[in-house]
Amino acid sequence: MNIYGKKTVLRALTGDDSAMLVELVNDPQTENMIGGKSYPVSFEEQCRWMEGQSGRTDILRCIVADRNLPGEGLGTVILGDIDHINGTAQVHIKMDAKKGRGKGYGLDALKTLTCYAFDEMRLNCIYAVIASYNKPSIGLFEKAGFMREGELRSRLFKKGSYHSCYMYSVIKKDPNPEQDGGIVAE
């Protein structure tokens, strides 16, 4: 099954996506903007990691692709820490710097996955933790209807110093004229 937005299709990861995923995880600009710590990853390591991901119910990983070119991955959008009892999940998004950023794919993918989570997975709250200096992601999440809930002080260590992170969330019942869904499952 694929999940369709207006501009994007969210599809399962395949072996063909390994090269794009390796580029994404090894891109220093992307790594600096996200939480956690990335380490250099080889193509072989990426393939082994992908093999171990099947059967998990606490995470939904999707490749973001253009609706017109579904085979070519532009990035990833992930629902992690899915809590089926409380109806919550954390969302992560990474877009390829050359092909996927600044073209509206990220916004469409984020809105599409959020609608899918609410309408099909029966989730109630989707949240994100964003580095305080990551202005593009802050703008993306706010445009997608997420609201800033608070600040986690000095939680992220990047480039020799500590940085705060902002907590963002969207609740299913939140009014959001921007969030018009457009989900079609095949």
Q: Kindly report the pTM of this predicted structure.
A: 0.88
pLDDT in tens, 42-68: 878 877 777 777 777 889 999 999 999
CB burial string 147-171: b at 16+ within 10 A, e below: eeeeeeeeebeeeeeebebbebbbb
β-pair partners for 184 = 4
| CA pair distance 170, 151, nearest whole angstrom | 16
Which segments of the chain have a pLDDT < 70? 36-37, 176-186
For residue 184, give the 3-state DSSP assignment.
strand
β-pair partners for 161 = 158
